[in-house]
Amino acid sequence: MARHDPTELAKTAYTAYGRSTGGKNYRGQPMPAWDDLGPSIHSAWEVAAEAIARKVLGLDTRPRSEG
């Protein structure tokens, strides 16, 4: 796998989310700046971004669940 920085991927995803929602979170409140988010939120975005990268690169080999 080409190595991508999960933090940079997460920041890109967070920024794209903000652009698509007019800078609002799921509650309709203003989104904090990336640097104002705590480590657990950074980690969650990094895990999500890494999962997408693995899927796009064809590295997600887990079977799809039935249902």
Query: pLDDT tens digits, residue range 11-54?
Result: 999 999 999 999 999 999 999 999 999 999 999 999 999 999 88
Helix (H) or strand (E) run with residue 41 in it: helix 39-56
Environment class of 18 (CB within 10 Å of its CB; exposed 0-12, middle 13-18, buried 19+): middle
Specify the higher pLDDT residue, 63 or 43: 43
pLDDT number for residue 63: 63
Cβ atoms 47, 12 nearer than 8 A: no
Higher pLDDT, 61 or 39: 39
Q: Which two tokens stand for residue 57?
A: 């690169």
User: What pTM, to 2 d.p., does this model score?
Assistant: 0.79
